[in-house]
A = this chain, B = another copy of it.
Amino acid sequence: MITTHNGPQPADFTDVRATNLAVVLRFVRAHAPCSRADIAAATGLNKTTVSSLVGELIDRRLLRETGLTEHRIGRPATMIVVDGSPYAAVGLEISTDYLAAVAVDLRGERLLTWRRSFTGQGAGSSKAVAAVATLARRAVARVRDDGREVLGINVGVPGLVDAGGVVRSATSLGWRDVGLRDDLRAALGNPDYPVAVENDANLAVLAEYRYGAHAGVANLAYLTGQAGIGAGIISDGRLLRGARGFGGEIGHLAIDPAGPTCPCGRTGCLEAVAGIGAVLRKLGHDSLVDAEIGVADVVRRAQQREPEVLAVLTQLGRDLGHGASILANLVNPEVVLLGGYYAPLAPWVIEVATAELAARTVAPQAGGARIVASTLGYNATATGGAAGVLETVDSGRLPTA
């Protein structure tokens, strides 16, 4: 069936029960507390169906009845809310210089936020798998100690991730064709919960869309500020993945043909001129291993108005504005978020970037796009991993009770 309109979508006609469970679950998430009658009235599903769906969701401990009742004409109606307590979703991130873990419950409450330094560059995938598996095991144990079931694990990686959870390439980690999902499943002893792998920028923008300062903004873009630069794009309320999940690869667009050669072999890539590694090298930090320390030093020197530092950050602003303008021209976002190591540098970058964005975007006022610093810090990708797990539940793939 062919349809491109942006209104309500048709059921996919394959699993009506799952579709309707998802509709009810999302309605309650958005409108709780509400009654079965509210759900029936709002969704058009008949009351018998709604009662059966709500019953199943209560049995699976996704919803619960409250003491609250609503006194309308007729008998009082029991009010229903999403039950946060029985489940948790775990998100992880493998970065070039740290690992992160976040767990959230079904209501989006954050249960844990961990981060530890890790030498990802040249570490090799087996070492990374072992390290992330250890972190995942600890997160799962913590969550289970609180009496929760794990809904799933979702790992963000700075690279191309295909539908099978294989990292086709991750330049900044030096990976090629790493079967991360299966390796991690094996390292975790083939657990009963699903394990997924996703591009880090996709997860970061998902976190922004669900929990960030611009949550719910239907057209949103996020630029990762790690060794590599990736874009996560929310278009009309949905994550833009593309045909094979390879969308958002902005880091190797040639923005300066006269620029430096990129490790990828191309010339003048956005990543080669504006990646945090390039910025730190220009300012005398020759390694990414302690990028956080390096960036803190750059911030300190910028606060002291060191001309060399201000010049480098001004150029960074121009380059990021150029990158943002490509997004503004092609996908017309309302907000472009600067994430990762760019966020602390934002005070010296955003004004120049905004001017460059406006100059390079065809639409007046950059099509309404604003460049802002992400507020989710270094946990954006891991938080998005957990959000991704919740999305699968929201789409009707419910945990088996």
Please tell me if A332 contacts chain B, counting CB pairs below 8 Å. yes
Interface centre among A20, A239, A362 (most CB of B within 10 A): A362
Q: CB distance A8 to B30 under 8 Å?
A: no
Number of identical monomers bound together in the oligomeric complex: 2
Please tell me if A231 contacts chain B, counting CB pairs below 8 Å. yes
Please tell me if A140 contacts chain B, counting CB pairs below 8 Å. no
The complex places the Cα of A92 from the Cα of B329 at a distance, in Å, of 25
| Known contacts A19-B8, A44-B49; is-contact A249 B362 (Cβ 8 Å) | yes
The complex places the Cα of A253 from the Cα of B324 at a distance, in Å, of 12
Please tell me if A137 contacts chain B, counting CB pairs below 8 Å. no
Which residues of chain A from 236 to 279 have a CB within 8 Å of any chain B CB? Answer: 236-254, 256-258, 264, 266
The complex places the Cα of A254 from the Cα of B258 at a distance, in Å, of 13
Q: CB distance B244 to A236 under 8 Å?
A: no
Please tell me if A333 contacts chain B, counting CB pairs below 8 Å. yes
What is the predominant secondary structure among interface residues of chain A facing chain B?
A: loop
Q: CB distance A235 to B246 under 8 Å?
A: no
Q: CB distance A332 to B241 under 8 Å?
A: yes
Q: CB distance A392 to B5 under 8 Å?
A: yes
| Known contacts A16-B43, A44-B16, A236-B238; is-contact A247 B330 (Cβ 8 Å) | yes
Please tell me if A348 contacts chain B, counting CB pairs below 8 Å. no
Nearest-Cβ distance from residue A181 to partner chain B, whole angstroms: 18
| Known contacts A5-B395, A11-B44, A42-B16; is-contact A243 B257 (Cβ 8 Å) | no
**What 1/0 flags go to A190-233 for Cβ under 8 Å of B?**
00000000000000001001100001101100000000000101
Please tell me if A118 contacts chain B, counting CB pairs below 8 Å. no
Nearest-Cβ distance from residue A108 to partner chain B, whole angstroms: 9
Nearest B residue to A329 via CB reads B249
Please tell me if A234 contacts chain B, counting CB pairs below 8 Å. yes
Please tell me if A115 contacts chain B, counting CB pairs below 8 Å. no
Nearest B residue to A247 via CB reads B332
Q: CB distance B44 to A363 under 8 Å?
A: no
Q: CB distance B26 to A1 under 8 Å?
A: yes
Which residues of chain A from 316 to 364 have a CB within 8 Å of any chain B CB? Answer: 326-327, 329-334, 360-364
Nearest B residue to A9 via CB reads B9
Q: CB distance A236 to B246 under 8 Å?
A: no
Q: Which residue from B27, B30, B235, B329 sits with its C-beta under 8 Å from A253?
A: B329
Q: CB distance B46 to A46 under 8 Å?
A: yes
Please tell me if A391 contacts chain B, counting CB pairs below 8 Å. yes
Q: CB distance B264 to A243 under 8 Å?
A: no
Nearest B residue to A177 via CB reads B364
| Known contacts A168-B363, A209-B2, A231-B330; is-contact A395 B243 (Cβ 8 Å) | no
Interface centre among A46, A246, A326, A396 (most CB of B within 10 A): A246
Q: Which residue from B206, B264, B329 sits with its C-beta under 8 Å from A362?
A: B264
Nearest B residue to A7 via CB reads B395
The complex places the Cα of A364 from the Cα of B167 at a distance, in Å, of 12
| Known contacts A26-B10, A249-B363, A327-B330; is-contact A394 B236 (Cβ 8 Å) | no
Show 7 A/B contacts (Cβ-Cβ < 8 Å), sorted by A.
A1-B26, A2-B216, A3-B238, A9-B9, A10-B27, A20-B44, A264-B362
New A-B pairs, 5, CB < 8 Å, besides A2-B215, A5-B395, A244-B368: A3-B394, A6-B238, A247-B330, A249-B329, A249-B363
Closest 9 CB pairs of A and B: A242-B332, A9-B9, A16-B44, A1-B30, A5-B395, A246-B363, A219-B243, A7-B395, A246-B367
